[in-house]
Structures are given as structure tokens and as C-alpha cells.
């Protein structure tokens, strides 16, 4: 453990009382550490703010400090007060004890009123998967819907796609990942400093499309702090399940009031292998993600710009063990994505008055995606320009902390190609919101409202056999949330929140009319769809003590007009309804039903002794229509027990990961001859659509070893080697949400080695 502490406090009695600031940074990443508890010797306790700063009045020549931050080693000791600024660089503890605080432009950094999780740098290193969804999938309430290793999307509380919002540094990514299961989220997890996951409707702070929750990838592309010296970190990894290699590098420095950062990551992998070393063809991938940012940072805020370029090229599987997945293209589909993004952000924090901060930000994204069929011709090409902007005034007075703000987004999505199912359309979003958090004693209350108006205009309103009455649509909604948090004891708190969120139908749900090879479907939209409106209640009990934290959450949410893109079955034959154009793909159409989701989640991270750490997670999601019919493609219940043993530079870990069977599936009107078992007829696999088929459970074991190289640490080049083995016993397991689950299993045993060096 290394904790460097520099506190500068004006001496008591040597003049008027002065303020001393303590700044906390992560030793490895130099990221500010917010929410840390600093106890000054006379008993005054402070919390660091969103940029890792806490201020207190100095009264002595030196001061005793006790610094505690979850996820970091505790530090205690005296520091001179000769200087007015103290800088502390804290080394992350070899534990999973991360501070669960999330960042939003409206409320800065703070505890969420819902169930939340934070994946810090240490966990990111252990879970170095190609997609954000796979990295966060170990959290309770979070699952991953796979369609190959790159085309993975997060599922929160059983909701995915357009109902889960993925943000980078609080802004929308501007890609089309939510529109189809084969589209990738264009954020490489190797570039993340931390990932925040908010479970449940979060429309008040983040806008529409948050019925399931929010995933915020924090990269700090635009630096918010100045580095006094150039800091860098480099990591590289290799894994066996797909013969993949990758690496990332990040630099952060400053000159005067200027701060800059540069980062980049790249990866390449061959086909992923299932159990028994059988390859899943067309799952190879390659890509890079690079960005740079520049900001002017002062005591009262910052202003900066950044740019980022993302490229990836990956396959979408079409066959396994010689059997072509039902509806899939024989030769697989390759997806080539290019995303260019620019961003500007500024925040001003006045010293006095009730205005805590004025914050503005915006981004522009140019996105292009080509899907290549066998022979290399383009089946579908998507292009999108998107821009969004947000302005927020944060206020603080008395026990109140709140914000008023406005948000605007514009996107122009176009598509062309042989197998284009999506119509070109322009979507505009405008919103205003106000939120207030009031703390009095042990009680904190939250109330807020948001008004959104979203218009969608098709650029091509040609009617077709299956798509009629193509027209513009406009949706308006007032959403909001009320909540209360009670600090029952120093360590125990209870939170209750009721929230209303909404989601307008996506462009694809409104106007699709065509085959989508990569998702094995022929999708027909409905221009008459209504917006989904969800009303959710969350109850969270949190215990945060010196030896760990426990979070128990229960939730329920009613979704009115839930859009289920369900496979159609020909009731006369019992066979899946095939498309009229090629007679090859199962037809999927949206239907609207009233749905109810409910469940519970548990996360307990406890260190019974300094050497042991136990991390237990469990979740039980349920989703059904009002009449009790299960919603299609829901994740199953799961339990995960992670036990760690720490001895000097070594950390050993062992994980038991139980995925229970998913037998709650809708009943399909079928003939006896058509079942969930895949039958090959005329060289083509036939089976009931996966949505009607149960999924067996599996118990997976994982293991890991982390070694912090001692000599490297002495040289101030802290080096860490992490060896992980996923699916240790090469068990066969299947994803309940994958449309090809009857044919293709999930990856087999994977050995991954990662090296990290931080300076």
C-alpha cells in the first residue's frame, strides 16, 4: 500500500483562519476520488466532492487526518499545514469495495436513489471483455444479450435494447446499438476508467429510454483535473478462448492551467470457441478506439473539447457444429463500424451564492455501419449523424441541492442495401427538467419532473405489402421521480423511490420492413405504435461499514404499452411465419401489451478479515404480461459468489456463478412436429423461435490470480499481472436471450492474462 499525502493548512494563530483543501487522486489512474471520508483530528468529518476535493478551516500547524475511501487503502497520519493545498494519491485496495456513487450533470456526484453499482479499474482489468455488456454482466440485475462477442448488449432487470441507455461521460453515444441484437455498443471497455450502472427507471436525470436503467462509461475524455506530471498507464492482454490479443494506453498531463489526455486501445481475436474447443464460426473481431481531450482547468471550473474515433470489424455467427442457425445466412455476416465523435464541455462553479455550478455540454457523432454478406457485398448499410446538447444550472441553498436544465438531441438515420429493413428517418428530442434534493438531519428527499417531446419523421414514406400508413409521429411526456433516503444509523440507510419514465417507439419499431440477416429476422414495424410508459418503485436497503457494504433492492415496474417484437407463428400450420419476400426469415412484429416487471437483487461485499473478501450477488428478475403470460427473452435468476484471499502482493479469487434455468417462456401455438429441438430439413435448420423455448441452467466456476510485482512498485512503476480463468470446467451453458441459443452455446473455458503498468 502506498498513500502519499500532502496537506497544506495555514497555522492556527498565525493570522486569520484559512481554508485548506485536500485533493484525493487514484494513484494509478489519477482520477479524482469522490465521496471519500476525511476525518480531521478534532472530529470534523468531510466528504470529497465530484472532483475529489474537500475543504476545511485550519487551526493548527499540523493536522491528523484519517482518510477512508471505499476501494482504497486507509491512510492515517499527521501532515504539515504550511501549504494551503494537500494532494493525496491513494492506492486502490485489492478488494472489490468500490464507492457506489454515480455522476450526473444535474446532481454532480452522489448516491443514487436507486440500486446502483460501480465497476472500478481493478474489476475492469479482471473482466477485459470486448463489450461493455460483458464487463458489467457480473453485477446483480445485469445480464448480457449476446450475438457474438462484439454484438453484446446490456440487459438490466430484463430490459434491453432501446430501454437501457448507454452513455459515455454522461452523453449519448450516437450509435445504433440499441436497434438490433447484432449491433455493437461503440465504446471499448478498455478505455473506461469506471462504469456506473443504475438499475431501474432513471428518466429524471438521464431522459427517455431509461426504463431498464443506465450504463455510464466514465472516461473523462475532457480532463477535469490538472496533472502536475505526465501520468500514464499501459495494459496488454491475451486470451485463449478466441486467441485474442489487445492493449491500451493512456496519458494524462498538464501545462499551466491546461490539462490534456490521450488514450487508445486496440484488440484482435479469432473465432470464439465453445465447450470442447468447438469454434463458433464468424465470431472473429478487430477494432480500435482512440481519443484525445484538452481542457482549461481552474479553481472554479473547466472548459474543454475532445475527439474520439472508433472502428470495429466483427462477425455475427451463423452456424455451429455444421448446423446453420435457424434463419441465419450461410456465410455469416460481417459488420464494419466507424464512429467519429467530438465533444465540448464546460463547468463554472462560482465561489459564492446559491448557484453551485453552471454546466453546458454537447457532442456530435458521425456513425457508419456496413453489414457484409457472403461474397463481400453490402447487405445493409446504416449511416447516422447525431448531435445533442445539455445545459444545467445546479443550485444549493440551505439543505437543498437541485438543478434546472434543458436537453436537446437530433439524429438523422439512413439505411440502404439489399436487405434493408430500416427506413431513413429524422428524430428530434427536446426536454426541460428540474430536480431538488433536500437533506435535513438523517433524511434526504428527492423530487423532480421532466418534460420531453420527441418527433420522428420518416424520410421515405413509401408503403409496402406489410407496412402501411407510414407517417410522422410525435410523443410528449411528463415524467419524474420522488424519493426518500433515511440514514437509519451511521452505516445503514434505506431508500425508496417512485419514478415514471417513458420511451417512444424507435425508428425501427415504427418503420421497419425487411429482412435483418444478422438478427435472423424479418422485421415489420408499426407506424401506429404508442409510447411505452413505465411506473416503477424501488426500495433499497444499504449498509456501508468499515468491513464492507451490503445492498438489498426490491423493485416493481408496470409498463403500459410495452412493445414486444415477437416472432409470428402461423396458427394454421403451427410453423413460424416466414417472410413473403425470401421465405427464409421468421417474421417479427411489434405488439403492445401491458407488462409488469418485478424482482429483487442482493449485493454483499464483506471483508471479514484483512485477508479475506467475500462478494455475494444474486438477482431474481420476473417479467410478464398482465394476464400472466411471461415476456419473451427474459434473463434467468442467478447467484454469484466471489471469494478473494489477499496475501502481500498476491490476490487469489474463486467464483461460483449459478445461472438458473429459464422455464418461464410464452407458449407457442405449435404442431407436435415442431419443437424447440433443431431439425435439419433440406439443409436448413428448423425449430421454434427461441423466444418460446426454455433454457437449461448451469453452474460455472471462474478463478483468478492477481500479482502486484513488488520490485516494480518500488521503482514507482506499479505493475500488476492478472490471470483469470472463466468457465474453469468448460461447462456448456446457453444465453436465454439469444435467438440462436438452441444451436450455439456460450464460450467454453477461457484463460486470460493481463499486464498493467501505471506511472
Partner 1 sequence: MMRWRRAIMLLLLPMLTACEHPLGLVSSHVEAADLVVADSLGGVLTRTELNRTWRVDSLHLRDDVPLRVVLTALDFRGDALDLSERSDLSFRMEAEHAALVQWEPQRGFGWIRPFGRGETRIRFLIWHGDHTDFVTPWLRVIIDSP
Beta carbon nearer to partner 1, 228 or 330: 330
End-to-end CA distance of the chain: 15
Beta carbon nearer to partner 1, 459 or 715: 459
Grid coordinates in use for 237? 492482454
What's the closest the beta carbon of residue 174 comes to partner 1, in angstroms? Answer: 12
What's the closest the beta carbon of residue 338 comes to partner 1, in angstroms? Answer: 8
Specify the 3-state DSSP secondary structure of 524. Answer: strand
Beta carbon nearer to partner 1, 368 or 684: 368
Beta carbon nearer to partner 1, 105 or 516: 516
**For the purposes of burial, counting CB atoms within 10 Å of the CB of 716, is it exposed (0-12), middle (13-18) or buried (19 or more)?**
exposed
Beta carbon nearer to partner 1, 538 or 579: 579
- Distances 466 to 243, 426, 524, 573, 587 between C-alpha atoms, Å: 44, 22, 7, 20, 11
What's the closest the beta carbon of residue 309 comes to partner 1, in angstroms? Answer: 10
| Sites of contact with partner 1 (CB under 8 A) | 340, 342, 364, 366-368, 377-379, 381-385, 412, 414-418, 420, 424, 459-460, 462-465, 513, 580-583
Beta carbon nearer to partner 1, 465 or 667: 465
d(Cα 663, Cα 697) in Å, to the nearest integer? 10
d(Cα 224, Cα 109) in Å, to the nearest integer? 13
What's the closest the beta carbon of residue 692 comes to partner 1, in angstroms? Answer: 25
d(Cα 119, Cα 136) in Å, to the nearest integer? 7
Contacts for 483 with CB less than 8 Å, ≥ 6 apart: 113, 445, 446, 447, 495, 496, 497, 498, 499
What's the closest the beta carbon of residue 616 comes to partner 1, in angstroms? Answer: 47
Residue with cell 422455464: 663
Bridge-based pairing of strands 750-758 and 231-239 is antiparallel
d(Cα 219, Cα 229) in Å, to the nearest integer? 19
What's the closest the beta carbon of residue 180 comes to partner 1, in angstroms? Answer: 17
What's the closest the beta carbon of residue 222 comes to partner 1, in angstroms? Answer: 17
Specify the 3-state DSSP secondary structure of 660. Answer: coil
> What is the Cα 282 distance to its own chain's centre?
26
d(Cα 30, Cα 721) in Å, to the nearest integer? 20
What's the closest the beta carbon of residue 515 comes to partner 1, in angstroms? Answer: 11
Beta carbon nearer to partner 1, 88 or 176: 176
Q: Give the DSSP H or E segment for 714.
A: helix 710-714
Grid coordinates in use for 598? 418485478
User: Cα-atom radius of gyration of the chain, to the nearest Å?
Assistant: 26
Q: What is the DSSP letter of 471?
A: -
Beta carbon nearer to partner 1, 352 or 583: 583
- b (16+ CB within 10 A) / e for 496-526: bbbbbbbbbbbbbbbbbbbbbbbbbbbbbbb
Residue with cell 430536480: 435
Grid coordinates in use for 313? 470489424
Beta carbon nearer to partner 1, 17 or 464: 464
Residue with cell 436448413: 684
Beta carbon nearer to partner 1, 62 or 418: 418
What's the closest the beta carbon of residue 360 comes to partner 1, in angstroms? Answer: 19
What's the closest the beta carbon of residue 264 comes to partner 1, in angstroms? Answer: 18
d(Cα 603, Cα 250) in Å, to the nearest integer? 31
C-alpha torsion sign, points 567, 570, 575, 578: negative
Beta carbon nearer to partner 1, 204 or 577: 577
What's the closest the beta carbon of residue 326 comes to partner 1, in angstroms? Answer: 20
d(Cα 97, Cα 726) in Å, to the nearest integer? 22
What's the closest the beta carbon of residue 431 comes to partner 1, in angstroms? Answer: 24
Beta carbon nearer to partner 1, 462 or 489: 462
Amino acid at each position: 500500500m502506498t498513500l502519499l499525502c500532502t496537506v497544506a493548512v495555514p497555522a492556527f494563530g498565525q493570522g486569520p483562519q484559512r481554508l485548506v483543501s485536500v485533493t484525493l487522486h487514484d494513484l494509478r489512474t489519477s482520477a479524482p476520488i469522490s465521496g471519500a471520508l476525511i476525518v480531521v483530528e478534532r472530529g470534523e468529518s468531510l466528504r470529497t466532492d465530484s472532483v475529489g476535493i474537500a475543504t476545511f478551516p485550519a487551526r493548527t500547524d499540523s493536522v491528523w487526518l484519517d482518510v477512508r475511501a471505499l476501494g482504497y487503502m486507509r491512510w492515517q497520519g499527521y501532515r504539515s499545514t504550511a501549504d494551503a493545498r494537500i494532494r493525496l494519491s491513494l492506492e486502490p485496495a485489492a478488494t472489490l469495495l468500490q464507492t457506489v456513487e454515480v455522476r450526473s450533470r444535474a446532481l454532480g456526484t452522489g448516491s443514487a436513489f436507486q440500486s446502483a453499482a460501480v465497476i472500478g479499474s481493478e474489476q475492469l482489468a479482471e473482466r477485459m471483455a470486448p463489450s461493455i455488456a460483458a464487463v458489467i454482466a457480473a453485477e446483480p440485475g445485469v445480464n448480457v444479450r449476446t450475438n457474438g462477442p462484439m454484438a453484446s448488449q446490456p440487459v438490466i432487470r430484463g430490459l434491453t435494447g432501446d430501454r437501457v441507455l448507454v452513455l459515455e461521460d454522461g452523453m449519448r453515444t450516437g450509435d445504433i446499438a440499441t436497434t438490433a441484437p447484432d449491433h455493437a455498443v461503440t465504446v471499448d471497455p478498455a478505455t473506461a476508467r469506471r462504469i456506473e450502472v443504475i438499475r431501474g427507471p432513471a428518466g429524471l436525470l438521464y431522459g427517455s429510454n431509461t426504463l431498464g436503467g443506465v450504463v455510464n462509461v466514465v472516461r473523462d475524455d475532457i480532463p477535469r483535473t490538472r496533472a502536475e506530471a505526465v501520468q500514464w498507464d499501459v495494459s496488454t492482454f491475451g486470451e485463449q478462448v478466441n486467441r485474442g490479443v489487445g492493449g491500451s494506453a493512456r496519458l494524462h498531463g498538464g501545462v499551466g492551467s491546461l490539462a490534456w489526455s490521450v488514450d487508445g486501445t486496440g484488440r484482435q481475436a479469432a473465432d470464439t470457441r465453445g465447450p470442447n474447443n468447438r469454434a463458433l464460426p464468424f465470431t472473429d473481431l478487430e477494432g480500435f478506439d482512440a481519443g484525445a481531450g484538452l481542457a482549461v482547468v481552474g479553481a472554479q471550473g473547466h472548459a474543454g473539447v475532445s475527439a474520439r474515433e472508433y472502428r470495429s470489424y466483427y462477425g455475427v455467427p451463423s452456424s455451429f457444429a455444421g448446423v446453420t442457425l435457424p434463419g441465419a445466412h450461410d456465410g455469416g455476416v460481417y459488420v464494419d463500424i466507424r464512429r467519429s465523435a467530438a465533444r465540448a464541455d464546460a463547468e463554472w462553479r462560482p465561489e459564492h451564492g446559491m448557484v453551485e455550478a453552471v454546466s453546458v455540454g454537447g457532442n456530435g457523432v458521425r456513425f457508419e455501419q456496413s453489414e457484409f454478406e457472403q461474397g463481400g457485398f453490402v447487405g445493409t448499410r446504416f449511416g447516422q449523424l447525431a448531435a445533442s446538447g445539455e445545459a444545467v444550472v445546479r443550485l444549493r441553498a440551505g439543505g437543498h441541492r437541485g438543478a434546472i436544465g434543458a436537453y436537446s438531441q437530433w439524429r438523422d438515420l439512413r439505411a440502404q442495401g439489399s436487405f434493408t429493413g430500416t427506413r431513413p428517418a429524422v428524430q428530434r428530442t427536446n426536454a426541460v427538467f428540474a430536480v431538488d434534493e433536500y437533506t435535513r438531519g438523517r433524511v434526504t428527499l428527492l423530487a423532480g419532473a421532466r418534460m420531453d417531446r420527441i418527433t420522428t419523421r420518416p424520410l421515405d414514406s413509401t408503403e409496402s405489402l406489410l407496412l402501411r400508413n407510414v407517417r410522422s409521429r410525435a410523443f410528449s411526456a411528463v415524467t419524474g421521480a420522488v424519493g426518500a433516503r433515511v440514514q437509519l444509523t451511521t452505516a445503514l440507510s434505506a431508500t425508496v423511490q417512485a419514478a415514471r419514465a417513458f420511451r417512444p417507439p424507435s425508428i425501427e419499431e415504427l418503420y421497419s420492413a425487411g429482412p435483418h440477416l444478422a438478427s435472423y429476422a424479418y422485421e415489420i414495424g408499426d407506424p401506429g405504435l404508442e409510447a411505452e410508459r413505465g411506473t416503477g418503485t424501488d426500495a433499497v436497503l444499504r449498509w456501508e461499514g468499515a468491513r464492507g457494504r451490503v445492498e438489498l433492492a426490491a423493485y416493481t415496474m408496470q409498463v403500459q404499452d410495452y412493445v414486444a417484437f415477437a416472432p409470428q407463428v402461423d396458427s394454421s400450420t403451427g410453423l413460424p411465419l416466414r417472410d413473403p419476400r425470401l421465405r427464409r426469415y421468421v417474421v417479427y412484429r411489434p405488439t403492445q401489451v401491458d407488462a409488469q416487471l418485478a424482482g429483487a437483487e442482493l449485493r454483499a461485499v464483506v471483508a471479514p478479515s484483512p485477508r479475506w473478501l467475500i462478494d455475494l450477488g444474486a438477482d431474481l428478475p420476473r417479467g410478464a404480461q398482465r394476464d400472466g403470460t411471461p415476456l419473451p427473452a427474459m434473463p434467468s435468476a442467478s447467484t454469484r459468489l466471489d471469494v478473494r484471499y489477499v496475501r502481500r502482493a498476491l490476490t487469489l479469487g474463486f467464483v461460483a456463478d449459478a445461472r438458473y434455468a429459464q422455464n418461464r417462456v410464452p407458449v407457442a401455438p405449435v404442431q407436435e412436429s415442431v419443437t424447440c429441438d433443431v431439425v435439419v430439413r433440406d439443409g436448413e435448420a428448423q425449430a421454434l423461435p427461441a423466444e418460446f423455448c426454455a433454457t437449461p441452467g448451469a453452474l460455472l466456476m471462474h478463478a483468478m490470480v492477481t500479482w502486484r510485482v513488488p520490485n516494480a512498485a518500488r521503482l514507482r512503476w506499479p505493475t500488476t499481472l492478472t490471470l483469470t480463468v472463466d468457465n474453469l470446467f468448460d461447462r456448456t451453458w446457453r444465453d436465454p436471450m439469444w435467438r440462436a441459443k438452441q444451436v450455439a452455446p456460450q464460450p467454453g473455458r477461457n484463460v486470460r492474462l493481463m499486464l498493467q503498468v501505471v506511472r
